[in-house]
Structure 1
Amino acid sequence: MPKVTSHTPPWLCRPSPGASFFTGKTAVAVDKHAPKRVTYEGPQKTLAQRGTEVFALVDNQIRWSNLVTLKAESSSKPKSKKNETGKGAKPEKEFYRTLTVPVYGEVKQLLISPNGVFMAVVTVHTVHIAILPDPSHLSSSETAPLRLKTYQLGPTTHVIPESPVISALWHPLGTHTNVEACIVTVTADAAVRVWELDRNNHWSFDRPTLAIDLTKLIDGTSSDEDFTPPGFGKNKGFSADAFDMEVASATFGGTAQEGEDAWAPMTLWVAMRPGDLYALCPLLPSKWQAPSATIPALSAAIIPKLAAAEEEFSGVEDAEDELVASRQQYEWLKEIDDQGSLDTPETDEFLDMEIFKRPVNPSAIPRLQGPFQFDAGEQIDDLNLTDLIVIPARLDTEALMTGEDDEDMFQNGEESLSVTIICVSTASGRVHVCLELDGVEGQWLPKAKANTFSTPLSEPSDLVLVESLDTVREQLRERHCWPTFTHDIHSRYGFYLTTSNNVSFISLSSWAQRLEAELQSDDVSGSQFRLNVLCDGSIALRELIIQLNEDDSSLHEEPHHLSSSLVFSDYDFGTLLLTYRGYAPQAAVLDEPQSQALQSFSESVISHLNAPVSHPPPLFSKPQRAPYQVPAIFYTDEPLGTFVEDNVPHRHRAGLRDTVRLSPSTLDTVAAAHRVLAAHTGVLEKAAADLFRRCERLRGEMKDQLEGIATIAERIKNVSSHIGNDGNRQEGSRSEEALSNRLAAAKQRQDDLVSRYSRIRTKLSKVGGRPLSEKENGWVAEVDNLSASVLETGEDSEALGRRLVMAKSLADSLLAEVKRISAEQPASDTAVFSLSPRSQPKIPAKLQRAKVADAMKMIDRESAVIDAITAKLERLNSGFS
């Protein structure tokens, strides 16, 4: 769990050069001819990174800089001095480059390709692919704007009359080189397009190599149908799916890293605004690259599954869907293997990846799996999803490395789950954490042939909702908010959530480790109870990183939504979380991640108790808010400096140097200047009023702190005094012995609390995933045998109940025999048996009665033991059920 060591560092605040990187031109003049601003509902991803390089959108212009350079220049830059003429300071050098891209409309997303060669510039309706220069070229001494070579993606596809672009994703399995790249675009009308870009072939930017309309695919029955989205200018008509399948976000299930499930990086997850999730697997370009463990892992999973399905459904006329799906996967995998045997695929020596061609059979378009749904309680009708993040399941190394010497080859440093975690965010700021237990594998629609196999039915799949988190205050939920996720660079099960006014960190690492230990445990006794404890307790650990105060948003800074945050890690500035809103950067310096063992121990202790460890409340806490950022209006130039060039016609400029004469043109000029100056002074007044309110609040907080200190001082004085007979406190009258006794009592109470906490933690640790000992396993087996013996009613089983009935009948017969013999004997206690020596020896009656009494006590004792065991087994049986 990262901790905030400090907020926005000084080298990103004014007057350092880092602050000028985010500073733009503040528009204070109101243009009545300007079109009204349309509220945009979509992700704000106007911040991108390439190593320590940062790309930001300021005034709809893309700026580039290097954080290492900004920090170095801030620490070594001398203060500016006024020149001798007194005309002000010399203009400072700009430590950033402006990248010019011919884009129409406001840019909403910036996406850097995995190898850092291409950048996708996404507006509401258009997508442009820019070629990024080398970092050495950008960091030169030249500061003039740099025009990038840009290609428009789909000039007749992504245009204003068509559906807006919601997501643009670089394919994790695409071939990304200096010349080639692969990007996937998803529009709001559920159209998915795969673009394989080649700088040597300009036609590759014109049409996608694969286009899928999900509204057609969800109702598809054969792979031979046409699932292509309607072309430009064609009437789409009315469809009921236009509302239920409005796309909110899309992401791939993996990043093609070692140790994750082989199907994950080729699975595209699509989230719809009402709350449904769909999966396309496998979605591949015509030429794709695979990690070294992908093909062996697919073979280890598909071949045994096909063998088991054929053995189960052998001789059945109507093959089941499971057998048909297994045969399709085997056919798909066989075509990939044939490429390796006939034509050796290309190999990337640097990335250790093999390049394959997309299989033709069964089909290039996979089947649409879903919808995946979860029970959200009160929010049943419309969840209004905004973004999703998928944490893939781990690679099944046991099946992959069976019989191999190096079985730990693909083990991760962090314990990974064998199930997929899906987290979705809503517009109200709520995050739902779900589990996908069945796993998503490759599926295709059948061929359009008669009597081949039955058409599979698409049935909804259920996700297991484990927790729902609220990250936005109740009074801010009515405002426009589009939360987005950002992966953590240190932990696989950690991520950041950026809302309109805050950034939070959510960690699932500790819970995932304990859950995986329980899922992989060989001892299944009590597993249901332990799983309930894991899922009912605290699952996600949250930490608020950045929180903005909404009363500071009156300075006309647009947009009013934080950009999707980025995480940088470098030796010079450590771990830095960076985002911005308007012209003010918002950052947080995080502490270095601690060792995995220490982190797991600390988080497990907190999670076992289902709540944070209770510490004594602080005497007085500091307010949680971001540091003060100087408004940009204080650093802008006077608007009247360029007023003449912008507002006065050229034919009237000559009259400005003459004596002022009353005329309609002079009145119009003065009125226009007044509007500009009034707007500028109005913003200045609001900024100054905000600073005044902050100073007043600071005075009030300082007063509260002083009052708290005075209260603490009074309490300290009361420690060394006691109340006398007159009811007044007498200072310095308490003896040292009384204080020592009070201190000893406090220490004893603290020791008792620590001992109690240790006992509770020990009990909870025994509940959560610890394997039972041999003695405990033997006791459980004995209890099971006894319960089975009591409850079984089979004819051949020697049940304990039957033996109990037999023992009771034998005891009754013995008692009857004893009574009969006692009645035949004389009543005298001293009498003896007068039997002949040939029959039986003479036994005294007193001894005979004592033996019978001992036998009766033994029978009663055994009967009581048997009844007690029977009652205990019945209670245990009712407790297990």
Structure 2
Amino acid sequence: MPKVVGHTPPWLCRPSPGASFFTRHPSKKPDGRTQNGNGTEYQGPQRTLARRDTEVFAVVDNQIRWADLATLKAEWSPKRKPSTKKNADADGNYYRTLTVPVYGQIKQLVISPNGAFMAIVTVHTVHIAILPDRSHLSSTERTPLRLKTYQLGPTTHVIPESPVVSALWHPLGVHTNVEACIVTITADAAVRVWELDRNNHWSFDRPALAIDLKKLVDGTSSDEDFTPLGFGKNKGFSADSFDMEVASASFGGTARQGEDAWAPMTLWVAMRPGDLYALCPLLPSKWQAPPATIPAISAAIVPKLTAVEQDYSAVEEVGDDLIACRQQYEWLKEIDNQEFMLDPFSESGILKRPSNPSAIPRLQGPFQFDAGEQFDDLEVTDFIVIPAGLDTEALMTGEDDEGILEENAQEGLPFTTICMSTSSGRVHVCLELDGVEGQWLPKAKANTFTTPLSEPAELLLVESLDTVRENLREAHSWPTFTSDISSRYSFYLTTANNVSFISLSSWVQRLESELQSEDTSGSQFRLNVLCDGNIALREVLIQLNESDLSFPEEPRHFTNSVVFTDYDLGQLLLTYRGSTPQAAEISEPQNAALASFSQSLHADLDPTTSQTLPPIQQKPRRTPYQVPAVFYADEPLKSFIDEHVPHRHRPSLQEPVRLSPSTLDTIAAAHRVLAAHTGLLEKAAADLFRRCERLRGEMRDQLEGIATVSERIKGVSSHIGEDGQRKEGSRSEDALNQRLDATKQRQRDLVERYANIRTKIAKLGGRPLSEKEKGWIGEVKLLSSSVEKTSENQTIQARLETAKSIAEELLVEVKHISAEQPSAPEETTTVSVSTPSQPKIPQKLQRAKVADAMKLVDRESAVIDAITARLERLNSSFS
């Protein structure tokens, strides 16, 4: 778990240059949360913060600002103000404004993987901006820079149409300085794939592939028309308008090494009611395949097709699973027949999308999970997909090169993990166990599928946790996820007033080791323990407990969080709300034993004195105080005349005051404006006063703790006089030495006990059971089952008595038979029998048989005695 070593650094607080980056212009009116085209209040994600290395892009006053955090930190000095303003503009701002011809409020900024393009998303429109290089942006010129932009689909993403929910850069698309691939998803479940080319402006007008999920969910053939309805066409009413209202979308992977091969080409779409759908494979006409993608898909498709064909070899009918496998094989065969075109900027090969079976995949889902009583609260806002790990054993079957296996190997579960957030701040962690593979609808002329309908699939819900307290929940909250840089099983959740870190890494490591273990004895019990315990570890990094003291018109919701990892910046989590930035400096705990030592420090002391010791004072963790924006705002009366006084009444302001209705209206309007401003000033001053009082109280507690420790030190040193001898009446040195020796002995006993317990645990779970131990367990189970299987009329005691009597009779009979046998000399090999018809038996063989019978009787007697002793113990325990 990461630890917060500091909150918003000084170089991001006033009056540093970094604070001006998020501060709005005083002459501009705050925008707040805008509305949709139909007049309703906007409800959607706020992703107005983006990063490119150490560069940050933010939306302030509906303008895109750019700054380099490393430069902002370098310009700040704790001792003196910057002496030069060569990197600042006339107002002393160390940022640059990027102007774009965008209509409406900007809601999302999405930067392409190579940093050459930036998608600017409003409620209904999408613009693609060409980002200049960092050296061009960081020049000494600080005038606003107009970006080269293209509107994406001028007749597609327009105000009368459905709002844009997500804009995703395809992880397998060809991304260069000229070409790119982006996927847009609207609220009416329309998915469009845009293959952008700066040399072909027509690529920005129409999508290369458009799919209406409401049509595709009921589709029966790949020859049908799944294109969304065009601009201005009546769509009519359908129940899917509510059940399939898109909340968010995400690709299943990022094309990294160690991921499942199908993950980066799978588009997951989450609906507001909680259903999830998957499109696999969704590819552009040109896509780049990582080195292990095609071999991994081949290793999965070919053996599966062989096994399914063997199952249907004796059956005349052809099943749907066999046809699906053949479709995957045809799709893979067309890829293998292509010639790889190497990308000069990467090691991936560029391929063409197979045309067979179809360019539009089958819609898989809906994927649902049983939330129980929490179903009424299920209103999905965002989700994150953690792909399954790559099956390296199947990939490297028959290969001798172990270096490739180590390169592609990566920790991870063999199934997909999906985490969904709701509007109330609750996070649901689910597992998709079956896996998502490429599927297509059949051709109309083939007519081979029986019922190609989408069947619901179950998700395994492993945990649901709340990230927002009940008294801090906002009315219009839209939590969003941010992936962690260090681990793919860790992420950040940003709500209206806090940012939390959630990690599944420790649980995934334990579960992965259990699934890969060769010893399956007790596996079910250990899996139940893993799933019943805490799965996700959560820590709140940023929390706003107090009311927002900024302007009422400013947003009351955090924008999305971004994480920076740099040598100069360290690991920094950044977000902002209104004009106030919020950050957290994160560091991994290096001294984990220090906390446990401080907690167990008083346990080794004497019980009579440990009650009087005060607890160790810890440093209080809270966000630092930031000056409210109202203190830096201009006086509202400066712009009062231009906004509230009509032109026909302005000449009268230069004349003596006359009692008239117009003068009364002007004074009343001025009073309303001034009263609102002074009210905010009073709240900000009261908040500062409360903080000062709390600080004084905390300082008083710290001083009292220091005084207590000082008295203890004086009490120890007061037993020794100026001459170095112990004073009379003080505790003797022998008593102190005895106490110290007792504490050391207690510590040694604890260490020895800990070592013994650790050794026992290592013996229990560190190695598999031997054959002797397994046989002993089976014998105990057989004995317990034989003891428990008793009839109603015959008790265990009666069976014991019967066994004893039979044993005694056998012993008497054996003794009687042995006594009747005549003794003969040892050299006689045969003995004559009275009946001539019976065969002659050697005497040695008779004695050997009798000895074996005696050993068998002794062994049975020992078993009976052991059973008797056990039954006596059972009777004593039951009584």
TM-score interval (norm. to shorter) = 0.7 to 0.9
Which ranges of structure 2 fall in alignment gaps of 5 or more residues?
Answer: 84-88, 603-613, 720-726, 787-799, 833-849, 874-879
Pick from 851, 856, 859 the counterpart of residue 857 of structure 2: 859
- Fraction of identical pairs, as percent: 73
Provide the rounded CA distance (Å) in 2 between the counterparts of 1:552 and 1:735: 61
Q: Are 2:387 and 1:392 aligned?
A: yes
Provide the rounded CA distance (Å) in 2 between the counterparts of 1:268 and 1:872: 63
Query: Any conservation in 2 of the 1:25–1:636 contact (CA below 8 Å)?
Result: no
Distance 1:63 1:648, change over 3 A: same
* Partner-residue secondary structure (3-state), 1:465: strand
The alpha-carbon deviation at position 700 of structure 1 amounts to 2.8
TM-score relative to the length of structure 2:
0.83
Provide the rounded CA distance (Å) in 2 between the counterparts of 1:673 and 1:749: 76
Pick from 775, 779, 782 the counterpart of residue 773 of structure 2: 779
The alpha-carbon deviation at position 402 of structure 1 amounts to 2.3
* Partner-residue secondary structure (3-state), 2:107: strand
Aligned residue identity for 1:54? V
Aligned residue identity for 1:424? M
Q: Are 2:701 and 1:699 aligned?
A: no
Distance 1:337 1:499, change over 3 A: same
Distance 1:309 1:855, change over 3 A: closer
Distance 1:26 1:633, change over 3 A: farther
Aligned residue identity for 1:171? H
Provide the rounded CA distance (Å) in 2 between the counterparts of 1:246 and 1:543: 32
Pick from 400, 409, 415 the counterpart of residue 411 of structure 2: 415
* Partner-residue secondary structure (3-state), 1:269: strand
Pick from 369, 374, 380 the counterpart of residue 374 of structure 1: 369
Query: Any conservation in 2 of the 1:269–1:278 contact (CA below 8 Å)?
Result: yes
Aligned residue identity for 1:397? T
**CA deviation digits over 1:67-121, x for unaligned, max 9?**
011011112995389xxxxxxxx96421111111222222211111111111111
The alpha-carbon deviation at position 477 of structure 1 amounts to 3.4
Aligned residue identity for 1:262? A
Provide the rounded CA distance (Å) in 1 between the counterparts of 2:333 and 2:237: 42
TM-score relative to the length of structure 1:
0.82
Pick from 323, 338, 345 the counterpart of residue 350 of structure 1: 345
* Partner-residue secondary structure (3-state), 1:75: coil
Q: Which residue of 2 aligns with 1:828?
A: none
Provide the rounded CA distance (Å) in 2 between the counterparts of 1:121 and 1:731: 83
The alpha-carbon deviation at position 552 of structure 1 amounts to 4.4
Q: Which residue of 1 aligns with 2:177?
A: 178
Q: Which residue of 2 aligns with 1:829?
A: none
* Partner-residue secondary structure (3-state), 2:128: strand
The alpha-carbon deviation at position 331 of structure 1 amounts to 0.8
Q: Which residue of 2 aligns with 1:630?
A: 627
Query: Any conservation in 2 of the 1:275–1:382 contact (CA below 8 Å)?
Result: no
* Partner-residue secondary structure (3-state), 2:203: helix
Distance 1:246 1:763, change over 3 A: farther
Count of aligned pairs between the two proteins: 808
The alpha-carbon deviation at position 865 of structure 1 amounts to 2.2
Distance 1:583 1:293, change over 3 A: same
**CA deviation digits over 1:510-536, x for unaligned, max 9?**
222222222122222222222222222
Q: Which residue of 1 aligns with 2:14?
A: 14
The alpha-carbon deviation at position 740 of structure 1 amounts to 3.7
Pick from 424, 431, 452 the counterpart of residue 427 of structure 2: 431
* Partner-residue secondary structure (3-state), 1:137: helix
Distance 1:553 1:188, change over 3 A: farther
Provide the rounded CA distance (Å) in 1 between the counterparts of 2:153 and 2:512: 45
- Cα RMSD between the aligned structures? 4.1
The alpha-carbon deviation at position 240 of structure 1 amounts to 2.1
**CA deviation digits over 1:675-695, x for unaligned, max 9?**
433333232222112211211
Provide the rounded CA distance (Å) in 1 between the counterparts of 2:248 and 2:737: 65
Provide the rounded CA distance (Å) in 2 between the counterparts of 1:735 and 1:413: 65
Provide the rounded CA distance (Å) in 2 between the counterparts of 1:272 and 1:679: 41
The alpha-carbon deviation at position 765 of structure 1 amounts to 5.6
* Partner-residue secondary structure (3-state), 2:389: coil
Q: Are 2:450 and 1:454 aligned?
A: yes
Distance 1:315 1:662, change over 3 A: same
Provide the rounded CA distance (Å) in 2 between the counterparts of 1:295 and 1:857: 68
Structure 1 range deviating more: 676-685 or 107-116: 676-685
Provide the rounded CA distance (Å) in 2 between the counterparts of 1:385 and 1:185: 19
Distance 1:646 1:715, change over 3 A: same
Structure 1 range deviating more: 262-271 or 782-791: 782-791
Q: Are 2:525 and 1:506 aligned?
A: no
Query: Any conservation in 2 of the 1:26–1:632 contact (CA below 8 Å)?
Result: no
Q: Are 2:519 and 1:520 aligned?
A: no
Structure 1 range deviating more: 18-27 or 737-746: 737-746
* Partner-residue secondary structure (3-state), 2:77: helix
1:283-294 superposed matches below 5 A: 283-294=282-293
Query: Any conservation in 1 of the 2:217–2:453 contact (CA below 8 Å)?
Result: no
**CA deviation digits over 1:818-847, x for unaligned, max 9?**
57569999xxxxxx9999x9999xxxxxxx
Query: Any conservation in 2 of the 1:790–1:870 contact (CA below 8 Å)?
Result: no
Aligned residue identity for 1:559? P
Pick from 64, 67, 70 the counterpart of residue 69 of structure 2: 67
Aligned residue identity for 1:17? P
Q: Which residue of 1 aligns with 2:528?
A: 532
The alpha-carbon deviation at position 285 of structure 1 amounts to 1.2
Provide the rounded CA distance (Å) in 2 between the counterparts of 1:663 and 1:40: 43
Q: Which residue of 2 aligns with 1:587?
A: 583
Distance 1:458 1:816, change over 3 A: farther
The alpha-carbon deviation at position 717 of structure 1 amounts to 8.0
**CA deviation digits over 1:207-251, x for unaligned, max 9?**
222222222222222222222222222222222222222222111
Aligned residue identity for 1:779? E
Q: Which residue of 2 aligns with 1:640?
A: 637
Provide the rounded CA distance (Å) in 2 between the counterparts of 1:243 and 1:13: 44
**CA deviation digits over 1:541-580, x for unaligned, max 9?**
2232212223345653721111111110111121111111
Distance 1:459 1:429, change over 3 A: same
The alpha-carbon deviation at position 503 of structure 1 amounts to 1.5
1:836-875 superposed matches below 5 A: 859=857, 861-865=859-863
Provide the rounded CA distance (Å) in 1 between the counterparts of 2:662 and 2:467: 56
Q: Which residue of 1 aligns with 2:607?
A: none
Distance 1:139 1:871, change over 3 A: farther
Q: Are 2:43 and 1:41 aligned?
A: yes
Aligned residue identity for 2:96? R
Provide the rounded CA distance (Å) in 1 between the counterparts of 2:449 and 2:868: 56
The alpha-carbon deviation at position 206 of structure 1 amounts to 2.1
Query: Any conservation in 2 of the 1:721–1:731 contact (CA below 8 Å)?
Result: no
Q: Are 2:553 and 1:564 aligned?
A: no
Query: Any conservation in 2 of the 1:575–1:589 contact (CA below 8 Å)?
Result: yes
Distance 1:857 1:301, change over 3 A: closer
Provide the rounded CA distance (Å) in 1 between the counterparts of 2:29 and 2:525: 66
Distance 1:465 1:706, change over 3 A: same
